[in-house]
Amino acid sequence: MTGYARAQGSDDRRRWVWEARSVNGRNLEIRCRVPQGFDRLENPARTAVGGRLKRGNVSLTLTLTSERQSKPLRINRALLAELGALAEEVRKSTGAAAPSADGLLRVRGVIEEEEEGEQTEEALAALDKALSATLEEVLKALVVARAAEGKALATVIDGHVGEIEGLCKRAAERAQVQIGTVRSRFESQLAELMDRVPTLSEERFAQEVALLVGKADVREELDRLAAHIAQARTLLAEARADNPVGRKFDFLCQEFNREANTLCSKSADIELTRIGIDLKGAVERMREQVQNVE
């Protein structure tokens, strides 16, 4: 969800530039900075962003520059008179020296730039329409920039899905070996207890082994992981078609992680446990990338 775009426009009185920056974020957060006097554009700008984007931290900035080289200066005589009266009052009460003319003129607000003539409602409406058109340009460009990154990101996530699929195949192969491991471990433990417990019948022995094998059976988890892999590929196809899938992928990563944890907890074979740990690492790497998906 990272992207940058810039668009500019102008009329006979001023030039303006809209800049839009987007970085990764779980939800959509919008920050909008506009010049003083243009606060009326902030809410429409936020609405325009929300209509195009669903996730990410987005910063919008509007900069305006007057086409005139400089504006005529004028003295704020009311403020100057007030300052003069206060200075005289201070001089009489404290004996301090009276301020010089250049000192008074340095006070903020005494010298002002003359504002351009009052604009009509029609002129302001035309300006807002032009600024909104430029905003649309910059948002379109931002969407294109984010889409370009998204295509590259889809390839990366697809690689993580492939890694998870490979680990699941290894886990399925190792799960078959686990049955023999559980039986051998039970026979070994039983042999150590032979002097303290009665000999088990073949039927009872088979029941105990079946119980332990059932507890260590990870086929259900592997089946669900296979279904999650298929769903991940479906979501990637939707993402390539410019559909928002970030939140769905977030939830799917939670489900991947849940099954990986269960597989590790059921494992009675060290190699299967290692595969489960690798699987959790692959899911976490994919989850980090999914945070960048729209």
What's the rounded Cα separation, in Å, for the pair 78 and 152? 62
* Per-block mean pLDDT, blocks of 10 residues, the chain (294 long): 86 88 82 88 91 86 77 77 83 80 78 60 86 92 83 86 92 74 55 52 53 62 90 87 80 91 81 89 88 73
**How many CA atoms lie within 13 Å of 256's alpha carbon, on the beta-carbon side?**
31
User: For the chain, what is the mean pLDDT?
Assistant: 80
Domain boundary assignment for the chain? 3-70+130-146, 73-113, 148-290
Residue-wise pLDDT for 216-258, tens only, equals: 567 788 888 999 999 999 988 887 777 778 788 888 999 999 9
- Provide Rg for the chain, Cα atoms: 35
Beta carbons within 8 Å of 21's beta carbon, 6+ residues apart:
3, 4, 58, 59
pLDDT at 72: 66
What is the assigned CATH class of domain 3-70+130-146?
A: alpha beta
pLDDT of res. 180: 56
Under a CB-based contact definition with an 8 Å cutoff, are residues 122 and 190 in contact? Answer: no
**CATH domain 148-290 topology:** Butyryl-CoA Dehydrogenase, subunit A; domain 3 (1.20.140)
pLDDT of residue 193: 46
